[in-house]
Chain A
Amino acid sequence: MINSLDPRIAREQINEDNTIAPLTEMDNWETYEVFHQKKRGEQHEHVGIVHAPNNEMALLFGKEQYGRRGISVNIWVVKTSNVFASDYDDADIFETVPNKQYREAGGYKVMEMINKYKKENKEK
């Protein structure tokens, strides 16, 4: 019998060799991805995961795990199995080639034309 310094444990009268059956798959349930919003007006941001048996418990655990220091105003949980994600190996799908400057603000330069115009008009 364990004679613990912790009265809560001593009360349980635990044996040192209290072997138990191993945990089996899904004992800790499936996982949810957690998103929180720190402030109204900001985007929700992914903060991590929780294990939970259903949506409500996922929300409860998510609040406890990621909102414990009063830095959230809202929280979303989504089953990991419901997230369809791109692959890091396919990161090249995001690559932009230089000839797509036409869709960037930096692709439009006018000062040179304006200065040239002004200079030519002064000379007249």
Chain B
Amino acid sequence: MYGNAYIDPNEKPLSILDGEDPIKLAEFEARIARGEKIEPKDWMPKEYRKQLIRMIEQHAHSEIIGALPEGTWITRAPGFKRKLALMAKVQDEVGHAQLLYSAAETLGKSREAMINDLITGKSKYSNVFNYPALTWADSCVIAWLIDAGAIINQVANAKGSYGPYGRALDRICTEESFHLKYGHHNVVTLATGTPFQRQMVQEALTRWWPPIMHFFGPSDKISNHTTILMKWKVKMATNDDMRQQFLNMYVPKIWDLGLVLPDANLKKNEETKLWEYTEPDWDEFKRVINGGGPCNAERLAVRRMAEEKGRWVRAALLNKSEKYVTPLA
């Protein structure tokens, strides 16, 4: 699960193509324009490598941190079947992190370096996971709607130019379809259940709507940078396009259940075919992504605890004569 990579708006715009070999750059861009993929050992512009590492790494962190709010309810899932399903889903998400770390590694950043940047707070992950899953219904809303958002993002990115990322995403998307169905089934069960169940899912939806609207990130600034990333097929759709696609697919399904979304301005403009909504609170988004959310500290402390507790096992198994080699594909 994931939103678009978060790029700090205060980061100084780089002179993106500085010092790049013009002939190699032209060949690289022609290859992408022909629809061919870029593979790990290919020549690539520094900025292409940097952005992909950031994007895939953030995506991997999001999968592994995303397992925490949902995992909260494993011990108290209502019924054995739902407990099994939730465990399977959480295991899938952790597996997605493994696949994505592997894809990022082919670009030259080691897995250990990525984990270090996660647990020290240097790297970001999807902001939605800094909020708590207060009730079982919250975990159902996450499984349905956050995974739905993730699928929109992942299906778009799977067509990107970097071979290993696309292959990892194809594999991930197959598993996500189970998550979406599982989440939808849970939400429908609650929404069509007792008055108490209905109230529970309504309250969860109301809580999660603002983070869901934040999920795809703020509107992209139309800059040279965005244009180049789109030309290089690193960024496959604008944040607003993906948000529109999400609203168009899921708001009707939510309204079908008689559930209410906490935005009186939310409606589809039949002339423009675009959804209108109250602009999300981007100051809140920035506050939370920079560490101020209700669960940021817990999420990272849990990851540090897990790394620390597993360390002696990993060390005991290590064959000291082996050397790390960057994976092939």
Q: Are B325 and A30 in contact (CB under 8 A)?
A: yes
A2 to B111, CA, bound (A): 27
> Which of B92, B99, B174 gathers the greatest number of chain A CB atoms within 10 Å?
B99
B43's nearest neighbour on chain A, judged by CB, is A89
Q: Are B317 and A12 in contact (CB under 8 A)?
A: no
A65 within 8 A of B: yes
Q: How far is the CB of B175 from chain A (nearest CB, A)?
A: 7
Q: How far is the CB of B73 from chain A (nearest CB, A)?
A: 8
Q: How far is the CB of A115 from chain B (nearest CB, A)?
A: 40
Q: Are B314 and A9 in contact (CB under 8 A)?
A: no
Q: How far is the CB of A69 from chain B (nearest CB, A)?
A: 7
A20 to B327, CA, bound (A): 27
Give chain A interface residues in 50-85, CB to chain B under 8 Å: 50-51, 53-54, 57, 64-65, 68-69, 79-81, 83, 85
Q: Which of B72, B305, B314, B329 contacts A12 (CB 8 A)?
A: B305
A25 to B322, CA, bound (A): 11
- Interface of A, helix, strand, loop or mixed by DSSP: loop
A27 within 8 A of B: yes
B293 within 8 A of A: no
Contacts A29-B317, A53-B317 known; A16 to B328 CB distance under 8 Å? no
A19 within 8 A of B: yes
Q: Which of A4, A23, A33, A47 contacts B298 (CB 8 A)?
A: A4
Contacts A9-B298, A18-B305 known; A51 to B111 CB distance under 8 Å? yes
B56 within 8 A of A: no
Name B residues whose Cβ lies closer than 8 Å to a Cβ of A. 39, 41-43, 68, 71-72, 74-76, 91-92, 95, 98-99, 102, 105, 110-112, 115-116, 119-120, 132-134, 167-168, 171, 174-175, 297-298, 301-302, 304-305, 307-308, 311, 314-315, 317-319, 322-329
What would 12 more interface pairs be, CB under 8 Å, given A7-B76, A46-B329, A49-B327?
A: A20-B307, A22-B120, A23-B116, A27-B315, A30-B322, A31-B325, A33-B328, A48-B167, A50-B98, A53-B318, A69-B175, A80-B326
